[in-house]
Structure 1
């Protein structure tokens, strides 16, 4: 972003936190680290590095440091990479392994359980310092697209200074996940309080993890699901916990702003690559759970099924889509190695139970208006670890699950084996011009969306004019009407981040939908009020439940406004839902980030989020009120 606009007082140390993202130019794509040398490793391509415990710590450190240094500012670049650790222990008391994680990087253990891979050291993300040659304006607002999973981390800060030694730092914002982790030895901090400031951060996701005392700090919003936590420091605007042992109670809302569900109604952990006791590679596909709490691996191997890697077609960015579809039609699953794939026709998932697993933030880019990924109206499909980008020709959608009135209008029953999207991210604009009508369209029933960031970019490296006129260029050129449209019934979203779309960011037409955690920024760039209004209404609500819906649940939702192109713009409501006994919203808020006005939180209820209280939320505890 071109200017930082908003502030919000924290409960921790008098810090402040704005929500607007900060832009940075993208350097050229760096060279990838060396290809894996372990002869037992499968052929996963040059963008995957597999380490084994016999390798010197210094070598592992050097390879990861080199890639992190190349990726620290490569926000809009094309490099992607996965660093995978075979079972064993890495780092010693004399030489801990202390690494940082940059853009489009996955760090994961290859054990069947998190305890099979142990790192003695630190795995961290620090602020990006954007001013004075990298010494000031230090923030985490754009620390996107990175993954840490499936390992045990014994924090060892030997050799670091006093501040850095105080925690393992994970200062991130959207499109970042921590999964299947067992962390001990020091605090986990979700903000980087060791740099020059302002140290802002803007949200993230933890699931299926056992974590120590956690410093939320400046994180404006955060979602933690099915985990164990030793303690939690504070919340800023919206901290949501679902099925978390040790989660703070929501008593006193909105001070602190905690939303706590004892159990998660529907959950399914993300598939993961692992090495079995005979050194063979396979993918574990966890089963869906109902009314779950705590980690999935507490009693041993996560319940589910194991699929040998030779049952996957391993694709690279040079693989033709037709070849991918041919292999899927043969009954194979799909492993996408890291890189950027140009997709000129749909990758079509038609078989029930198909698994599509991306490594290293594998990215599918629409070409010629294609829908990059489609899933038939069948149960049990799992798509995980994939980013989907709009292309310069408008696509009707970027991912379509099922067809409207699929199976000749006869819905299938899939409540015990829902099609699941885990860490599936969407982007419209940013590295290049992007256009789509809808990013994610869910037509099937019984679908689970477990952590997604659906982003119409508010900044990027497209050749737009700087400043306000650049925003006008973006509004006319990087087009996206809706981020998520749900037409299916019994759809659940756990961790729904959707931002900057030009009409309703979320449209929910299906019955009995549930969202646990929703984060939204309305578009920054409507040129005028007239461009933003519709049907006699001031603006588009971020979260719209269709008028005829009779049953819907939302827990912990926030919508933020920052009309930087025309600060006089008004939006009537952040949330717009039918007045029906079965439609219930629990813990809502709106926030002004420095421009425009959100007149009400939901259906005319709640005061205005205007520029007299920038960064100060307007809360509604329950709608309708009990």
Structure 2
């Protein structure tokens, strides 16, 4: 039976104690018992052929040559966006004078315990690099940077991205520009646990979410700019300017991250859970938490089988996927509490034969981070399921976190998955996800029948929090929320472009079209902030949706800062939420609703 009241959170030390992990000072270690034989690693692990490990003693020109070669191999939007390249750049503690252009499926990581342990005197940057992009960054997907300090070569770091491009634990000692040098459009984005000493300017960014960070100042906003727990953020002024600001983030726990300790040993740090958080977790000099030795991880390299990974998981190992594409002939089963499963370089999991790629049991404290689930050519019921159907255990003290985990149906291969992410467990924190049914890609891999997916995210658990929820182009509801007391901070959506006709796209409850965000009729409490949904019915512009948001009218379901847009006036959304809000007009102009009801 579902619980009727919310539980209290324990302090972080009690959380870890309950999970069998010692709470330690950031410089200390935890969980350093003997590792299962299945996951024992050498002191200098093999991180696979696609991982570059840089040391400050290396010649700068040698490092730069490798960075340039990786960028050249994975920069082209037309060729490399849906290709198989995967790469990670890992910088050991020290200072570097380099310029890292970050291409597709590239992740950049500092290997210090804190961002200031690795200093880039130069740039970590993304721009509208390709002539084919015409100066816009609307397809700058699947790239990331994490755990570094940057002294920008020209005073500003440029990070002009769209979806699936997280910017985490960064210390920018200057300005941050979120737009291309051309001032063309981009459609990002996400920042967490970061500090920018100067001005952060969004300019042409259509939407953005910032969590638990610190800005010197913020400038700009097109449609939907959302902040929680961020000092220096603008005031709450939606819709003019379109800024939605929450003083704190209700629940957050930053990502697990790889680092090298003072003795040269490889470890993974596990930040503590935070409640009502504000500012970077490392603002006091270091991030509170605990760490694990790499010996407690099975390090998967390309060619590892699902059987190998499952054997490691069942024996008590954590798993680190190095950059590559992993075809799965059996479901990966995460059954032990406090298991860490993380990826480098957009490690990609492809389920073959119609299986679910990964299932997480209804246990405490699982941490999933940095994975791309790519639907296989035989339909899967889901790509990732968290908790068994009917789960009801209380995980408030030590929730499962799903962070920088992305889903793709079509685009690279002709994928099929009924649902991408299904959350059955209670208290799960979904912290930055992009669930995407392809609207473009390799020939024959996208289209109404070529790539099929009903729904991006289905939430059945209670007390689930989503911070940074991006869901696009699914063929029915984009999000279905069945659990009680759910919360979303920032939602970005585009309805499916390729609806052939109205008859193919009407909801079963008699509503014309499908809502993007559907809170089930029986839900009594739900709250969300900063919600944007756009239509672009370019195959048949006569198609319309009755509304983008569909929720029960019971006083306990409350939405704040909502908007709809018809992109280039291809189709219409008649109302914003239920019967409230006007019809999307010509001119790519938003229709705004400040609050509902």
With normalisation by structure 1, the TM-score equals 0.86
Q: Are residue 177 (structure 1) and residue 177 (structure 2) matched? A: no
Mapped contact 2:60–2:96 kept (Cα < 8 A): yes
The equivalent residue for 1:470 is: none
Three-state SS of the structure 1 residue aligned to 2:134 is strand
1:556 pairs, out of 530, 546, 551, with 530
The residue correspondences of 1:503-542 to structure 2 (distance < 5 A) are 503-535=476-508, 536-542=510-516
1:130, CA displacement in angstroms?
Answer: 4.0
1:50 pairs, out of 45, 49, 53, with 53
The equivalent residue for 2:325 is: 340
1:495 pairs, out of 459, 468, 473, with 468
Measure, in 2, the Cα distance between the counterparts of 1:463 and 1:483: 21
The residue correspondences of 1:383-398 to structure 2 (distance < 5 A) are 383-398=368-383
Mapped contact 1:522–1:542 kept (Cα < 8 A): yes
Mapped contact 1:450–1:494 kept (Cα < 8 A): yes
The equivalent residue for 1:450 is: 431
Three-state SS of the structure 1 residue aligned to 2:447 is helix
Mapped contact 1:119–1:153 kept (Cα < 8 A): yes
Three-state SS of the structure 2 residue aligned to 1:606 is coil
Three-state SS of the structure 1 residue aligned to 2:345 is strand
> CA offsets, 1:237-274, max 9 Å, x none?
000000001111013x2111000000000101011000
Q: Are residue 436 (structure 1) and residue 436 (structure 2) matched? A: no
Measure, in 1, the Cα distance between the counterparts of 2:443 and 2:388: 33
Measure, in 2, the Cα distance between the counterparts of 1:504 and 1:124: 35
Measure, in 1, the Cα distance between the counterparts of 2:153 and 2:539: 47
Q: Is there any run of 5+ residues in structure 2 with no aligned partner, and where? A: 1-41
The residue correspondences of 1:571-582 to structure 2 (distance < 5 A) are 571-582=545-556
Mapped contact 2:461–2:482 kept (Cα < 8 A): yes
1:247 pairs, out of 233, 241, 246, with 233
* Cα distance change of structure 1 residues 40 and 349 upon mapping to structure 2, 3 Å threshold: closer
The equivalent residue for 1:148 is: 145
1:40, CA displacement in angstroms?
Answer: 6.9
The equivalent residue for 1:327 is: 312
Measure, in 2, the Cα distance between the counterparts of 1:42 and 1:299: 31
Measure, in 2, the Cα distance between the counterparts of 1:237 and 1:203: 12
Measure, in 2, the Cα distance between the counterparts of 1:99 and 1:433: 32
The equivalent residue for 2:249 is: 264
Measure, in 1, the Cα distance between the counterparts of 2:352 and 2:555: 45
Q: Are residue 189 (structure 1) and residue 177 (structure 2) matched? A: yes
The equivalent residue for 2:297 is: 312
Measure, in 2, the Cα distance between the counterparts of 1:328 and 1:172: 34
Measure, in 2, the Cα distance between the counterparts of 1:461 and 1:318: 24
Measure, in 2, the Cα distance between the counterparts of 1:272 and 1:497: 23
> CA offsets, 1:532-569, max 9 Å, x none?
11332210000000000000011000000000010001
2:407 pairs, out of 419, 422, 426, with 426
2:544 pairs, out of 551, 567, 570, with 570
2:89 pairs, out of 83, 89, 98, with 83
Q: CA RMSD in A?
A: 1.3
Three-state SS of the structure 2 residue aligned to 1:585 is strand
1:300, CA displacement in angstroms?
Answer: 2.9
Measure, in 2, the Cα distance between the counterparts of 1:424 and 1:272: 14
Measure, in 2, the Cα distance between the counterparts of 1:593 and 1:327: 47
> CA offsets, 1:489-539, max 9 Å, x none?
000000000000000000000000000000000000010010011332210
Measure, in 2, the Cα distance between the counterparts of 1:309 and 1:156: 34
> CA offsets, 1:269-304, max 9 Å, x none?
011000011100000011211101001011233112
The residue correspondences of 1:78-117 to structure 2 (distance < 5 A) are 78-91=84-97, 97-117=98-118
Q: Are residue 222 (structure 1) and residue 219 (structure 2) matched? A: no
1:55, CA displacement in angstroms?
Answer: 0.7
Mapped contact 2:54–2:90 kept (Cα < 8 A): yes
Measure, in 1, the Cα distance between the counterparts of 2:342 and 2:44: 17
Q: Are residue 403 (structure 1) and residue 388 (structure 2) matched? A: yes
The equivalent residue for 2:581 is: 606
Mapped contact 1:172–1:204 kept (Cα < 8 A): yes
1:139, CA displacement in angstroms?
Answer: 1.0
Runs of 4+ in 1 over 3 A off after TM superposition: 128-131
Mapped contact 1:600–1:606 kept (Cα < 8 A): yes
Mapped contact 1:372–1:398 kept (Cα < 8 A): yes
1:589, CA displacement in angstroms?
Answer: 0.2
Measure, in 2, the Cα distance between the counterparts of 1:168 and 1:374: 38
1:62, CA displacement in angstroms?
Answer: 0.9
The equivalent residue for 2:448 is: 475
Q: Are residue 590 (structure 1) and residue 564 (structure 2) matched? A: yes
1:378 pairs, out of 360, 363, 369, with 363
Three-state SS of the structure 1 residue aligned to 2:63 is helix
Three-state SS of the structure 1 residue aligned to 2:498 is coil
Bigger shift: residues 502-511 or 210-219: 210-219
Mapped contact 1:396–1:438 kept (Cα < 8 A): yes
The alignment covers a number of residue pairs equal to 550
Q: Is there any run of 5+ residues in structure 1 with no aligned partner, and where? A: 1-38, 92-96, 158-165, 465-472
